[in-house]
Amino acid sequence: MHRHGYKGRKFGRERDQRRALMKGLATSLVEHGKIETTLPKAKELVRYIEKLITKAKKGDLASRRIVISKLGTQAAAFKLVDEIAPQLTKRNSGHVRVERTRLRVGDGAQMAIIEFVDELKAAPKEAN
């Protein structure tokens, strides 16, 4: 069978498991700014998070709701829309980078770090 026209990697998982995996990886990336995972997962996460960042940069209510639905927690979605996206307005695309790191000891899988290209400044904490 040919693979023409089939987009995305399957990761040996069913559809809902793949969606949950991408949602979890994207949430972790937004919360921590940098994560380490396997190279294929990182490459697939780039496709997922770039679309989310584009939506977050738009910033209207409909886009905000889409971002909330695509990320695991509301806190991560609000952080992406309110703190991260405004700092990425200079770029049209290429907001994240994937960098190969090491081979995993257990199975020899190629690991990679995925992080935002621009240095993100932490938002000042509000004193209550």
**pLDDT confidence of residue 81:** 95
Which residue ranges make up each domain of the chain? Answer: 15-116
What is 15-116's CATH topology? 50s Ribosomal Protein L17; Chain: A, (3.90.1030)
Alpha helices in the chain (DSSP H): 15-32, 39-58, 61-70, 74-79
Structure token pair of residue 42: 């990182």
Residues 69 and 19 sit within 8 Å (Cβ to Cβ): no
- Mention every residue, 6+ apart, whose C-beta is less than 8 A from residue 30: 49, 71, 76, 77, 79, 80, 84
Structure token pair of residue 67: 């971002």
Q: What is the pLDDT along the chain (128 residues), one digit of tens a residue?
A: 788 999 899 999 999 999 999 999 999 999 999 999 999 999 999 999 999 999 999 999 999 999 999 998 999 999 999 999 999 999 899 999 999 999 999 999 999 999 999 887 776 666 65
**pLDDT confidence of residue 126:** 63
Amino acid at 121: K
